[in-house]
Amino acid sequence: MNNTWESVIGLEVHVQLSTESKIFSNAPTKFGQTQNSQASLVDLGLPGVLPVLNEKTIEMAIKFGCAINANISSKAIFARKNYFYPDLPKGYQISQLDDPIVGEGKISIEIDNEEKFIGITRAHLEEDAGKSLHDKYENLSAIDLNRAGTPLLEIVSEPDLRSAKEAVAYLKKIHSIITFLEISDGNMSQGSMRCDANVSIRKYGDKEFGNRTELKNINSFRFVEKAIDYEIARQIEIIENGGSIYQETRLYDANKNETRSMRSKEHANDYRYFPDPDLIPITISKEKIQEIEKSLPELPEQKIVRFIKDYKISEYESKNLNASRELSNFFEKVAKKISSPDLAAKWILGDLMAILNKNNSEIQDSKISSEDMINLLCKIEEGSLSGPGAKKIIELCWSSNESIDNLIKKEGLDEVKGEDEILKIISRILEDNPKQHEQYLNGKDKLFGFFVGQVMKETKGSADPKLVNKLLNKKLKQ
Amino acid sequence: MEDLSKLSLVEQINGLKLKKFSSMELTEFYLNKIDQEKVLNSFISLNENALTEAKKSDEKIAKNKNSSLEGIPIAHKDIFCIKDQKTTCGSKMLENFISPYSSTVYEKLSNSGTVNLGKTNMDEFAMGSSNETSFFGSVLNPIDPERVPGGSSGGSASAVAANLCSFATGTDTGGSIRQPAAFCGITGIKPTYGRVSRWGMIAFASSLDQGGIFAKNALDAALALENIAGFDEKDSTSINKKVPPFFDQAKLKDKEHIVGIPKNIIEDIKDEKVKNNFYESIDILKKSGVKVKEIDLKNIQYSLPVYYVIAPAECSANLSRYDGVRFGHRCDNPKDLDDLYERSRAEGFGEEVKKRILIGTYCLSAGYYDAYYLKAQKIRNLIKQSFMDAFKEVTSIMMPTCANVSFKLNSIQNPVEMYEQDIYTIPANLAGLPAISIPSGKINKLPLGIQFIGNYLEEGNLLNLSNKFQQNSDFHNE
């Protein structure tokens, strides 16, 4: 976007771990419940309460560490991060400073068909804060502590990203890793994955980093790209006009698509971290790490390779099908049940994705189940349903609650039809249109389309166009 | 009727069992006494349901369904949360705080059948050595009402010494059980860190706080301690070890003791009378067949400064939750968030608490952490190591409990002089070791105490040694 300036980006991604209960209390972590109904005595920070670690969070963090080939610390220490805020009940957040559970690792992303490695500095466990609601009551702020104590894995990258596009690719990769590992639902709209971006610019070739700003509160792939692009442009404009960038925290406003200053470095908090005396250091044995490593589910990279091999699909298709665990599982369910799995890849990535996109839906919310897809594709394979017919059914199926078989019957798409039947129809059409037949035989090739149309009309689109072409060719030339 | 309050715990249990008197009678007796001794200001609040609880105990005794301490009227330091009762921690901040849950210590004693008479006075948030920092006023020493009972558990000590309850709970962060026990001429034990659950015990300094018992003698203390000790999954620092029968251990006749005398510390005792008392106490031990050995305890002289870094650091975070947002004191008409925090805390906390929050915040601040907090932790480990070395040669260590007898109210104005009250008690907290203070004589009618420090989980050993001393002396009955 600019030949003079190179942008340097590092991301801090907060991933909500999908445990049943909170990281330091037994309150449930369910989303969307009545305010403060999911907050226990511990989450409320009452006098005398104590945190007890949910061991599942340690396992999940180790899983992530193994998946990115990172060093797993042999001990994990929780620390208190001190600051005052109304939705932080204890006046400190239990987090990690020294000895984070996951150490250095790396993640590969693909950018313009090239692989690039992004360094991971660390990933540590911490508890989430609650929510302050400022516009619910007039002149009052309300506090909902349902989210307080929800386990988070904070994944910190090296400043290895060089564009908003790379940042998005990196985020998508993290999303796919955590969902394949089943350690998070990765639901960004519910805040299960949030991200802060450290952004700076420098001249190409410069070794030193420029002063960076930290963008807070970004919670969708789309906003990440917009927020970073906005910030890069803002910084370039300032520097090119002779100004300087000051280290500060900026808030991204998705509605206005702008970032604005939250606090400067001078006003940055001194968090006064110290080890939490209420929690004893956790020791992690090599055996435990090995055990978890062995039980890791198949990761996207492994699945991409296997799909190409097992299902004879293209690399492009395999990558797209492995964009999320749900899509990957959907495909595999279908591919296993039909004789040509590449057909499944084409239909899922083609017509199914099209209708999902059109309806702003994810595969997990698809109204067309994997069973429906198997049903449709089997019919195509045996020739009892045409491509256009299947396409029509997918659309109808989305907008109605009827079964695939019912829809096919209703639309009369089930009447077709072997070769014999189509041949009969062709004969009848040729008899009804002798003039056109003669013109065609005299060289007016364009009329071939006319005959195809007639046949499709007669069969209400249920005939396989390829078959119709083949038979028409034969019959017209007789 | 005989003075039931002069009976030991063991005698009271037997009296109740044999129906010489009922729990109702015993409880009424104590309630009357508390009323007569109001001037001592030992209690912050009385339990309105004490007689109802006593009645239930009597019914259980009648049906032979009594628990181990059935019908025994006791008092709780007002730092232990009791469901639906006021728990003030001696602070204006929690003047009207009614706890929605109960501490493990209270639950355990309640399940053992004790009758709760009320909550005893204490230094605010357990910060003090004279009970003069309490928002609810000073407590008088029943031995000499012009003098302090010691602190921070001054209310409990004065209540037991004045026979206002059979025994009482307390907490000890730097000497808050042992020093008041010595000042009031009674027995006080602080068990091994982690032996008694901290759940529901309002935190001052989490890595040092430990619940314990005030009683008339070592055997009573052993019996009471048996009923509050034990693993609690709600406290991560709780020790998962079976609690031995302390009472039986305390009575064992042939247990061998080698008591270590840290000569470097004893030689430095400034007050000759205190020094003489200490040597007289050694003679009593020797006469009862206990072996005595001189030892060298290194680095103990650093205990006080180390403590006054670590304890304030932890308290500065522990007390952040009192922010006027969810519970506790809240200032009138806050202008904005900062005003709410500043005025609520300025009004709710007393001077000593504020002083310690400031010291702690300073010690943890960027640039000072290494020099203060980290260094203090290192020395703490050295002190621990000194004790471990000593316990290779001896079974317990004997020291004075305090360098002086009780002092007059308002007589100590210099904070450091006040902090020096705990010079002999703090080392056991830093190392997490069990320690007990028992009466060892008097200077001008004012009691003195000696202290035994034991190895980890060796409370039984300390109680046995103390019982041996008390069988060969009469200071505990004076």
| CB A159 within 8 Å of CB A228 | no
Query: Stretch A85-91: mean pLDDT, rounded?
Result: 96
User: To the nearest whole number, what is the mean pLDDT of chain A?
Assistant: 90
What are the residues whose beta carbons fall under 8 Å from the beta carbon of A268, sequence distance 6 or more? A249
Q: How many Å lie between the alpha carbon of B291 and the closest alpha carbon of chain A?
A: 37
If we measure between CA atoms, which residue out of B24, B125, B150, B164 comes closest to residue B350?
A: B125
Q: For residue A395, what pLDDT is reported?
A: 87
Q: B436: pLDDT confidence band, cut at 50, 70 and 90?
A: very high
Q: How many Å lie between the alpha carbon of B201 and the closest alpha carbon of chain A?
A: 5
| CB B427 within 8 Å of CB B303 | yes
pLDDT above 70 (res A1): no
B449/B404 Cα distance (integer angstroms): 9
How many helices and strands in chain A, by DSSP H and E?
Answer: 16, 15
Residues of B whose CB is below 8 A from A77: none
Does the beta carbon of B207 lie under 8 angstroms from any beta carbon of chain A? yes
Q: For residue A271, what pLDDT is reported?
A: 95
| CB A98 within 8 Å of CB A155 | no
Q: Enumerate residues 116 to 145 of chain A having a beta carbon within 8 A of any beta carbon in chain B.
A: 143
Q: How many Å lie between the alpha carbon of B161 and the closest alpha carbon of chain A?
A: 28
The chain A residue lying nearest B372, using CA atoms, is A274
Select the more confidently predicted residue: B396 or A220: B396
pLDDT above 70 (res A358): yes
* SS3 call for B451: strand
Alpha carbon of residue A228 to chain centroid: 19
Is A89–B101 a contact, with Cβ atoms under 8 angstroms apart?
no
* Amino acid at residue number B374: L
pLDDT above 70 (res A29): yes
The chain B residue lying nearest A274, using CA atoms, is B364
Q: For residue A457, what pLDDT is reported?
A: 78
Q: What is the pLDDT of residues B38-51, one digit of tens each?
A: 999 999 999 999 99
Is A91–B89 a contact, with Cβ atoms under 8 angstroms apart?
no
A 10 A CB-CB count for A305 gives 13
Residue of B201, B320, B336 to mutate for A, most A C-beta atoms under 10 A: B320
Query: Stretch B178-187: mean pLDDT, rounded?
Result: 98
Q: What is the pLDDT of residues B191-234, one digit of tens each?
A: 999 999 999 999 999 999 999 999 999 999 999 999 999 999 99
If we measure between CA atoms, which residue out of B320, B335, B358, B373 comes closest to residue A83?
A: B320
DSSP labels, A67-80 = HTTPPBPSEE--EE
Q: Is B176 a catalytic residue?
A: yes
Does the beta carbon of A86 lie under 8 angstroms from any beta carbon of chain B? yes
pLDDT more than 90, % of chain B? 98
Most confident of A352-361, A464-473, B400-409: B400-409
DSSP labels, B242-264 = PPP-HHHHHH-SS---EEEEEHH
Residue of B323, B339, B349 to mutate for A, most A C-beta atoms under 10 A: B323
Q: For residue A71, what pLDDT is reported?
A: 95
Q: For residue A430, what pLDDT is reported?
A: 85
How long is chain B? 478
Q: How many Å lie between the alpha carbon of B205 and the closest alpha carbon of chain A?
A: 8
* Amino acid at residue number A347: W
Q: For residue B280, what pLDDT is reported?
A: 97
Q: What is the pLDDT of residues B272-286, one digit of tens each?
A: 999 999 999 999 999
Least trusted range by pLDDT, from A129-143, A464-478, B196-210, B296-310: A464-478
Does the beta carbon of B203 lie under 8 angstroms from any beta carbon of chain A? yes
Q: For residue A415, what pLDDT is reported?
A: 57
Q: B431: pLDDT confidence band, cut at 50, 70 and 90?
A: very high
Q: For residue B157, what pLDDT is reported?
A: 98
Cis check: omega of the bond before B152, within 30 degrees of 0 = yes
Q: For residue A42, what pLDDT is reported?
A: 97
Is A80–B81 a contact, with Cβ atoms under 8 angstroms apart?
no
Q: A15: pLDDT confidence band, cut at 50, 70 and 90?
A: very high
Catalytic residue among B153, B176, B238, B281: B176
Q: B438: pLDDT confidence band, cut at 50, 70 and 90?
A: very high
Q: For residue A258, what pLDDT is reported?
A: 85
* SS3 call for A309: helix
If we measure between CA atoms, which residue out of A206, A304, A197 comes closest to residue A249?
A: A197
Select the more confidently predicted residue: A411 or B474: B474
Query: Stretch A46-65: mean pLDDT, rounded?
Result: 98
Indicate the helix (H) or strand (E) that contains A248: strand A248-253
Beta bridge partners of A248: A213, A264
Query: Stretch B247-256: mean pLDDT, rounded?
Result: 96
pTM: 0.90
pLDDT above 60 (res B467): yes
Query: Stretch B346-364: mean pLDDT, rounded?
Result: 97
Q: Residue A158, exposed/middle/buried by CB under 10 A (0-12, 13-18, 19+)?
A: middle
Does the beta carbon of A82 lie under 8 angstroms from any beta carbon of chain B? yes
pLDDT above 60 (res A354): yes
Query: Stretch B363-383: mean pLDDT, rounded?
Result: 96
Q: Is B440 a catalytic residue?
A: no
Q: A414: pLDDT confidence band, cut at 50, 70 and 90?
A: low
**ipTM, two decimals:** 0.96
Q: A444: pLDDT confidence band, cut at 50, 70 and 90?
A: confident
